Amino acid sequence: MTDTATAAGLDPATLADVLRLAGSTGFDRIQDQIRRTGGCSDPIHLQGSVVVRDAHTRHVLHRYSTDTEPDGRLRIACGNRRASRCPSCAWTYAGDTYHLIRAGLTGDPDKGTPHTIRDHPRVFATLTAPSFGPVHNRPGNRPCRCGTRHPEDAPELGTPLDPESYDYAGAVLWNNHASELWRYFTIYLRREIARRAGLTQKAAREQSRVSFGKVAEYQKRGAVHFHAVIRFDGPKGPDSPPPPWATPDLLTDAIHAAAARVALDVDPAGDQPARTLTWGTQLDVRPIRAFGDGSEITEQAVASYVAKYATKAAETTGTVDRRIGNKEALALLGVPDHPARLIAACLDLHALYPDRKLRDWAHMLGFRGHFSTKSRQYSTTLGALRQVRTDYRAAQQRAALGLHDPDDDTEATTLTLAHWTYAGHGHTPGESWLAANIRRDIQHNRETAREELPALLHLEGATA
């Protein structure tokens, strides 16, 4: 058994479970369930039943129960956005984020934005944290302050030159207040826009709107920074053109001024001094072009970039993707020194700032905000995108069962009674191996289809 397991790249326990699955009577159905979740790494298990009846005659049109399923359970995707937890569901989340951001750049009437939105001024802004002490970096063609030219994948990048003098408390408190710093930035941004337009704030609001979609990303040093698409709209939002004075240059100047104005005071506590939290000086603002000329960032690049980081969190810095209860766990989990010090700072500061819940968010290095947010009128919502996907799958299921589409008539013709209970989550070792292979197959098929699409479109154009 050991030699066979080694040849298959599996440990003996996993191989034994794979063989058990393959020989079970419910293997095909288990495989089908896992495929329907997209190869989810940690599916939710449900037990229950669904009965569809004719609304008038009460005749049973369809009946389903998990009693007929292997182990009496139905597996559904976990929906976790973190790639470290579930690559399959994170891929779906990234795709939804891509379409949400892109709809606010190119326009998509089905997603709440007209195509004329491409003519609205918009920029891609990156707001960063200030310095908490010098760190190892790659400053252009020059060597780092330590005298070494670090390769791009050097593990010391982002770590302090002198850990003992690095302001770990300031770093985690800044992360913890980052969402509030962003909120103040959006308030000041509207004020700075009005000032540059020579208008009162009320008059500026009556002539224009500012919409945004943003995502948070961790730098190697463990500090959060925000990437944001910021767009000028008219007084009625994306459906109306912005006024002539609403230009990319005015928006850029207002962003710089607003970021410089933000200052958030943190009261002293215990051995911690009073602090004033601000944005860092490394503020980058670039115009977004509808069609790139090689010198500016394009809509496609921005949407892809934002979607990429929507599924990543603090684990990219070397920490873990779940809560840590005490410092002793850091050594057991093998957390590197720099993120371990940041986590320890969160745990130490929790008693001084109990309302900030630093212990609960220690594994996030203090950050407690949403990773992906948008203003109300930027474009569609993630919930709306999920609902479209749910409705599509429900229509497929009804068609397969020969059931009537409830949207075809003004009166309901069917009555659905459902009862579900939670029955656990996860996979056995063999199911995990099977899910990973299914996920890779799905990803390979998608990448192949994406590569072949340009050639097919070219062929269709040539034969039209």
CA-to-CA separations, 272 to 64, 265, 296, 348, in angstroms, rounded: 60, 13, 44, 11
Opening angle at CA 85, ends 82 and 90, nearest 5: 40
Res. 291: pLDDT tops 70: no
Q: Is the pLDDT of residue 290 over 80?
A: no
State percent of the chain over pLDDT 90.
Answer: 59
DSSP letter assigned to residue 152: T
**Among 312, 44, 71, which residue's Cα sits nearest to residue 36?**
44
Nearest-angstrom CA–CA distance, 104 and 422: 37
pLDDT band at 406 (very low <50, low <70, confident <90, very high): low
The per-residue pLDDT for range 417-433, each reduced to its tens digit, is 899 999 999 999 999 99
Residues 305 and 282: their CA atoms lie apart, in Å, by: 19
Residues 6+ apart with CB under 8 A from 297: 124, 286, 288, 289
For the chain, percent of residues with pLDDT exceeding 70: 92
Q: For residues 361 and 190, is the Cβ–Cβ distance under 8 A?
A: no
Confidence of residue 7 (pLDDT cuts 50, 70, 90): very low
SS3 7: helix
pLDDT for residue 86 is more than 80: yes
Reported as a single tens digit per residue, the pLDDT across 49-67 is: 999 888 888 888 889 999 9
Give me the DSSP letters along 4-23: HHHHHT--HHHHHHHHHHHH
Q: Which two tokens stand for residue 30?
A: 């288990």
| Rounded Cα distance, 38 and 443, in Å | 9
Tokens coding 42 = 């940690």
User: In this predicted structure, what is the pLDDT of residue 2?
Assistant: 43
β-sheet bridge partners, residue 211:
231
Average pLDDT over the chain reads 88
Helix (H, G, I), strand (E, B) or coil at 431: helix
Work out the average pLDDT over 374-403. Answer: 87
The amino acid present at 181, given as its one-letter code, is L
Rg of the chain over all Cα atoms, to the nearest angstrom: 26
Which of 64-73, 110-119, 255-264 is predicted most confidently?
A: 255-264
Could you tell me the strand order of the sheet in which 122-127 lies? 297-298, 284-289, 122-127, 224-233, 209-218, 372-374
What tens digit of pLDDT does each residue of 140-185 get? 878 898 989 888 888 889 999 999 999 999 999 999 999 999 999 9
- Residue 356 neighbours by CB under 8 Å, 6+ apart: 173, 176, 349, 350, 366, 368
- The DSSP 8-state label assigned to residue 160 in this structure reads B
Between 457 and 396, the higher pLDDT residue: 396
pLDDT at 407 over 80: no
Tokens of 181: 């710093």
Q: Which whole-number Å values give the CA distances from 326 to 35, 132, 342, 347, 355, in the listed order? A: 38, 24, 13, 7, 19
* More confident position, 381 or 453: 381
User: What pLDDT sits at residue 327?
Assistant: 87
